[in-house]
Structure 1
């Protein structure tokens, strides 16, 4: 780290009224301003952020190890993808493989022995993989494109490979930069669910239009219990509009696996719209109601634990029939809530148009909600 003339640093004049500057140092592309803040931290950031952002820098406030000095850290804003994003590409490839394998084994009823004998047989499950990844990638790219539009340093999607039942745990992005204002926070938060729902409706419609599948006799005879993925209201609405069935009287006939992509899109929409922490719902509600979002988030874990208890003790569902699902998300939402959503620099209200859009987004999410999304049935 080297000392530099403050006159040569990014817009130091923006600090003059709120920060008593002692020394300026540079470490690579970051600039450190040592001194004493004359106002609270959030006010300091709010005052200096516009000038630094115009100069192409993000700012954050910290302190020295001894705590004797305040430090304003300025770092260049990322202007896009730097080189090949190998981690994103690697996870994408791994998720394609995992969803094809799980799709072939679980949803296309290809025996494991056949896959071992000829691994290329999993390519038969490519429509399932395309449906699942199409929904998830569209959701995350909605966040990414709107984030870039607002100039926020945001990563490309990271897809997460997994095993049964879908071959993936979903996808995430990282918002590494500061949030300019509540409008940007709202737009980025709402873009994912809305884009994902459009893709979900398309995938569901395509899946319903495809011919049903016949379950092999060995799979029917060898099953005592099956896991049933119940239809969210939105799926039934799409099926009714298209005049297509979602189940058949013959137990050996089932809907095309592409429909599972639509089911996943709806289920993940519900989870993402939980109004806690860094989930989409947390960002949207933070933008809509400001810091009152923390009170909303505090209720969410209690509601989820309440759902689990109601299913188990009142409706007599087992731990495997959505009870464990809601209990797990009650625990996870408790952890997520501690971090909280992104704090925008500018706390100006988002306006009535965005407020209405937020209400509409949660209403669409409600059409994807099921009290019992998964249950075990004997056949």
Structure 2
């Protein structure tokens, strides 16, 4: 429907004086749309109006859209500017059925994967529960990572969804977990805090899971055609606990250790410093708009790693393909760019130091050839 004025809790057009000349206001399903002409740059406009809308409970963005005939809706040529104000919410609206459904499916898929690692005979459905230690460990490291992001999003008043777990019938039973960031980042400090919380929280959970797994009994080597190489952090934890990573007699470490490996692999990938990955958020917060230089170098570095593995190390094809694939992914991430904060105030020294430490911890989760396919 069309209204001459926004609903009562929306900012009146007079609040935009000298910033945006309002010609028309519409209200559609709670979303306010102010059509008109900006009188200042888009960046300055959003920076000035963001707190005005936020105080009224809205997120605002400046965009433009095709001009349309008001009666037929047919495009008439040209474009017009519009301030789109969407109600913001940092709470949980009702029961998150989609999140719960995906979580239940991921529990099932990780139980199947875990049962295979423990060598259970799945022709008997009751043996599915044999995989519960692995499933619990994997879901813990992934869930804690995403809940770290969610908790800091709530702290900074940024609208974010609960975690979505992604089930997948592979050797770990999942493609990971994600949250949707629906709100704007107020400043570089909040962008950094939200970005760093996931990797650090996830690494704590990963280290706990790995240490627990090292103390659990080894299992017979499963009939799964894949082997995993340990990153330095696993080696460090094994040395600190005095527990072995290899066994004789056809046994291997408990699959819970492999769940820790999953957490470390996910942490490293998330800390690649480009785009909407956690590492991209950290670099954007730490160096500001100079992040574009870093983002441009990342795909080249990954393609270079793939070339090194192929020509120098003569590594297996799967390792070369993995980093070529991530090189392509990061090209897309770099093009999309990271989240853009409203205010560009720099970070304090403590956060900058924490960011450097976080990238250092991520490096300990890296191994050039994470896994190898075992050919029959």
- TM category (shorter chain) comes to over 0.9
Is the contact between residue 20 and residue 35 of structure 1 (CA under 8 Å) also seen in structure 2? yes
Is the contact between residue 6 and residue 32 of structure 2 (CA under 8 Å) also seen in structure 1? no
Is the contact between residue 88 and residue 159 of structure 2 (CA under 8 Å) also seen in structure 1? yes
What's the counterpart of residue 213 of structure 1? 219
What's the counterpart of residue 10 of structure 1? 10
Q: For 1:99-125, what per-residue CA distance to the aligned partner results, in whole angstroms no more than 9, with x for missing partners?
A: 1111112x1112xxx313x21211010
> Where do 5+ consecutive residues of structure 1 fail to align?
none
Distance in 1 between the 2:247 and 2:24 partners?
A: 75
Q: Are 1:99 and 2:110 an aligned pair?
A: yes
What's the counterpart of residue 74 of structure 2? none
Displacement of 1:213 after TM fit? 1.4
Query: SS at 1:65's partner residue?
Result: strand
Aligned pairs for 1:187-226 (under 5 A) are 187-215=193-221, 219=223, 226=225
Distance in 2 between the 1:63 and 1:214 partners?
A: 61
What's the counterpart of residue 138 of structure 1? 144
Deviates more, 1:22-31 or 1:40-49: 22-31
Query: SS at 1:236's partner residue?
Result: helix
Q: Are 1:115 and 2:125 an aligned pair?
A: no
Distance in 1 between the 2:247 and 2:327 partners?
A: 35
TM-score, structure 2 length as denominator? 0.93
Distance in 2 between the 1:21 and 1:137 partners?
A: 45
RMSD across aligned positions (CA): 1.7
What's the counterpart of residue 24 of structure 2? 23
Distance in 1 between the 2:280 and 2:254 partners?
A: 34
Is the contact between residue 226 and residue 374 of structure 2 (CA under 8 Å) also seen in structure 1? yes
Q: For 1:4-47, what per-residue CA distance to the aligned partner results, in whole angstroms no more than 9, with x for missing partners?
A: 33594522343112111222221121111121100111111001
What's the counterpart of residue 69 of structure 1? 80
Q: Aligned pair in 2 of structure 1 residues 9, 17: CA closer, same or farther (>3 Å)?
A: farther
Q: 1:268 aligns with which of 253, 266, 269?
A: 266
Aligned pairs for 1:136-285 (under 5 A) are 136-215=142-221, 219=223, 226-250=225-249, 252-285=250-283
Aligned pairs for 1:344-355 (under 5 A) are 344-355=341-352
Is the contact between residue 152 and residue 178 of structure 1 (CA under 8 Å) also seen in structure 2? yes
Aligned pairs for 1:14-53 (under 5 A) are 14-53=15-54
Query: SS at 1:346's partner residue?
Result: coil
What's the counterpart of residue 86 of structure 1? 97
Q: For 1:48-80, what per-residue CA distance to the aligned partner results, in whole angstroms no more than 9, with x for missing partners?
A: 101211111110112241245321111211131
Distance in 2 between the 1:68 and 1:249 partners?
A: 71
Q: Aligned pair in 2 of structure 1 residues 37, 193: CA closer, same or farther (>3 Å)?
A: same
Q: Aligned pair in 2 of structure 1 residues 271, 243: CA closer, same or farther (>3 Å)?
A: same
Q: For 1:331-363, what per-residue CA distance to the aligned partner results, in whole angstroms no more than 9, with x for missing partners?
A: 111122211110000111111111001001000
Is the contact between residue 181 and residue 344 of structure 1 (CA under 8 Å) also seen in structure 2? yes
Is the contact between residue 95 and residue 162 of structure 1 (CA under 8 Å) also seen in structure 2? yes
TM-score, structure 1 length as denominator? 0.92
Query: SS at 1:375's partner residue?
Result: strand
> Where do 5+ consecutive residues of structure 2 fail to align?
68-77
Distance in 2 between the 1:227 and 1:203 partners?
A: 21
Displacement of 1:215 after TM fit? 3.6
Q: 2:370 aligns with which of 336, 356, 373?
A: 373
Q: How many residues get paired?
A: 365
